[in-house]
Amino acid sequence: MSTTAKPAAAREPGRTRRFVTPEGVDLRLTLGEASERAAAFLIDLLVMVAILTAITILCWAMLTGGRHADLPLPAIIWLLSFFLLRSFYFTVFELRPSNATPGKRLMGLRVAARDGGRLGADAIFARNLMREVEIFLPVTMFFAGDDQVSGWIAAAGLVWTGIFLFFPLFNRDRLRVGDLLAGTWVVKLPRRALLADLATTPAAAGPGFTTGQLRAYGVKELQVLETVLRQNRDATVREVAERIRRKIDWHGEAMPDAAFLQAYYLALRRELEGKLLFGKRRRDKHDT
Amino acid sequence: MSDATVSDAPLRDIPLRSHRFRREREAEWQRLEALLKLAESGRWGRLSDDDLLAIPVLYRSAISALSIARATSLDQGLVRYLEALCTRAYFFVYGGRASLGERLGHFFARGWARAVQGLWRELLAAFLITLLGAVVAYAMVQADPDWYRSFVPMGLAGGRDPDATAQYLRGTLYDEDKTAADALSVFATYLFTHNARIAIMTFALGFAFCLPTALLLAYNGAVLGAMVAVFVRKDLGFELGGWLLIHGVTELLAIILAGAAGLRIGLAVAFPGAESRLHSASLAGRQAATAMGGVVLMLVLAGLLEGFGRQMIQSDLWRYAIAGSTAAFWALYFGWPRKAAGAGDA
């Protein structure tokens, strides 16, 4: 993935999906990026390793502590917890109401059903049982090899994991093989603060704009202007104000750039929202 | 720009409609957000009954605000905030909030058995494949005992090979030694985790058009057939039957079930029928996974029967009796008609 900034419009539809609630409103879910998924998985892996280390130390202490030295209990505990951790760590966490493992929660992700319905236990089982062949089987193969034949098996295992590992990159919805079989996908659970409304400032002292001047731009430009005002960077504000003054042929009173933009934003939004009420959405400045 | 010179100056002091719209509802949204924050972090105790009842109401008002805002407001910050808030609330309101206990109860009462019933064709196929593997291996080992070593790995054989004496083989079936029993419980645990992984793999590999699953099933049958052949050659067939079936009924059924679930996925991927391949795969995947959910539990039961039942019960007839009753139990549990919701639990 390149780090160069792409225009938001070109990037957004790629990961945004229609998701219509029973109320008939499209929530426009954003899918989790492959990088976020990988990070979440690594975090979960670390947690699993940490738990296993703790159990290993416990079992070792039981063995050397003497009291249970002759009992097979530590070995049984270790074998069982290793198995449970490996096979059910993901399942148990995703069965909880948050539908997310600790790693996914940290990355702001959760599992959801692709058809918009309830996420059933069957789907969670299906997507996580597949991990056994996607990750753990090849890893076992990889560490098993020490002679010639096993070396080839290890190589095959590596190719195998590679295919599964990069599978999400080869489909639009970033589905694992497990997601494919379970009818699930991983979506972002955004947390956004309610930003202040820019249209609050009373423009009593501000200038008036003519209708002609307010017809210079459409919704897209208005929202760019909103972003500029929210970020409030001096250089950008100056440049944008300059450009708008030129475009609308502004000869009114001289005023600071920020205040000018604020006033123009308010007037433009009033104009465009007024049209919106009559069913006319002017998408951008080229829209007539 | 020449035609219109009307100024917007007279309107300047009237707040925007979209601003008033937002001001009137802001408090509600923020209450919803605060409640969701508590609910998401699992601090249910701090939510009163009123709060819990309020969440769906607040959600519906937020989602209607979202569609109004999309249609009438050009405040991008507001629309994005509402989208995020509604998404979080949606998952809370419509997400499965059944507790783990409720889910399990439903699973054992109906879900599992119904999923298994839906797999009967694949179950039959998986059983026949296992049987085929067993019969072929049996015939081969009967014809030439050297084949045994290519079927049964040394770790599993534990000295039970064609060269062993009848005396030794009999000894492996009836074990009285207590220290050996302790070691065996570790071995039983190991066998259980091993079997469970094999079962999960048999299931998960099914998506590769059934082939690996069928191979694993046939191989599993072959190990069994080869083992039986060795004991039958020493006239210990009946005794081996008791030793094997006391847990084997459950264990073999579990592995055949896992195989059937894998076959189901493979068939759905290979022959999606009228559905799209993706949809067909996800339908089959969920049904098969439900059937798989219980397989691990069956293997736990099998492990217990193997580790303890077999050590404590040394009589052939009792072993056969237990094998027979587990078989009857599973047949009743899975076979009991459950068309109507809430029908009898076996």
- Is A4 within a domain? no
Same domain, A23 and A81: yes
Q: Does A276 touch chain B (CB under 8 A)?
A: yes
The answer to whether the Cα torsion of B96, B103, B119, B292 is positive or negative is positive
Residue B3 is predicted with a pLDDT of 46
A227 to chain B, closest Cα gap in Å: 9
Locate the chain B residue with the closest alpha carbon to A194. Answer: B81
- Residues of A (228-247) whose Cβ lies below 8 Å from B: 230
Domain contains A241: yes
Nearest to B1 among A96, A130, A212 (CB): A212
* Model confidence pTM above 0.90: no
- The pLDDT score that the predictor gives to residue B183 is 57
Domain for residue A252, yes or no?
yes
What pLDDT score was predicted for residue A83? 87
- pLDDT surpasses 90 at B339: no
Assigned domain for A183 exists:
yes
CA–CA gap between residue A40 and residue A108 (Å, rounded): 9
CA distance B211 to B223: 19
Report if residue A201 sits inside a domain: no
User: What mean pLDDT, rounded, does chain A reach?
Assistant: 81
User: Is the model's pLDDT at A207 over the cut of 90?
Assistant: no
pLDDT in tens, A115-133: 877 888 889 988 998 888 7
Query: Measured between CB atoms, does B90 come within 8 Å of chain A?
Result: yes
Residue A199 confidence (pLDDT): 75
From A22, A199, A215, residue closest to B19, measured CB to CB: A199
Based on the fold, state whether residues A155 and A30 are members of the same structural domain: yes
In a domain, A176, yes or no: yes
Cβ atoms of A116 and A79 within 8 Å: the answer is no
- Please indicate, yes or no, if residue A200 is contained in any of the structural domains: no
Mean pLDDT of chain B: 83
| CA atoms of A37 and B36, how far apart (whole Å) | 24
Of residues A177 and A144, which shows the higher confidence score?
Answer: A177
Share of chain A above pLDDT 90, in %: 15
Tell whether A44 and A141 lie within a shared domain.
Answer: yes
A-facing residues of B in 104-143 (CB < 8 A) are: 107, 111, 115
Measure the CA–CA gap between B297 and B87, rounded to whole angstroms: 36
Among the partner residues A121, A190, A223, nearest to B84 by beta-carbon distance = A190
Res A104: pLDDT? 93
Count of C-beta atoms within a 10 Å radius of residue B276: 10
Task: Select from A123, A133, A270 the Cβ nearest to the Cβ of B16.
Answer: A270
* Chain A interface includes B228 (CB < 8 A): no
B274-297: per-residue pLDDT in tens?
Answer: 888 888 888 898 889 889 888 988
Same domain, A140 and A272: no
One domain for residues A57 and A166:
yes
A229 in the same domain as A110: no
Does residue A37 sit in the same domain as residue A142? yes
Binned at pLDDT 50, 70 and 90, residue B342 comes out as: very low
Q: Could you tell me the pLDDT band of residue B12, with boundaries at 50, 70 and 90?
A: low
Query: Tens digits of per-residue pLDDT, A34-50?
Result: 899 999 999 999 999 99
The answer on pLDDT for A10 being more than 70 is: no
Domain that holds residue A103: 14-188
Q: Are residues A228 and A89 in the same domain?
A: no
* One domain, residues A52 and A111: yes
The answer to whether residues A108 and A140 belong to one domain is yes
Are residues B138 and B225 in contact, defined by beta-carbon separation less than 8 angstroms?
yes
- Residue A34 CA to residue A170 CA, distance in Å, equals 11
Residue B5: predicted pLDDT: 53
**pLDDT given at position A5:** 39
Q: Report yes or no: A167 at the B interface, CB cutoff 8 Å.
A: no
Under the banding of pLDDT at 50, 70 and 90, the label for residue A6 is very low
Which residues between 11 and 70 in chain B have a beta carbon less than 8 angstroms from any beta carbon of chain A?
Answer: 11-13, 15-19, 22-23, 26, 29-30, 33, 40, 42, 60, 63-64, 66-67
pLDDT tens, B185-229? 777 777 788 888 888 888 888 888 888 899 989 998 998 898 888
Q: Which of A257-261, B40-44, B171-175 has the highest mean pLDDT?
A: A257-261
Check whether residue A251 and residue A183 sit in a common domain: no
All residues at 6 or more sequence positions from B135 whose CB lies less than 8 Å from its CB, including other chains: B221, B225
* Cα–Cα dist B245/B94, whole Å: 46
CA distance B59 to B61: 5
Q: Coil, strand or helix: which one is B102?
A: helix
Residue A205 lies in a domain: no
ipTM strictly over 0.85? no
Domain tally for chain A? 2
- CB of B190 within 8 Å of any CB in chain A? yes
pLDDT of residue A252: 75
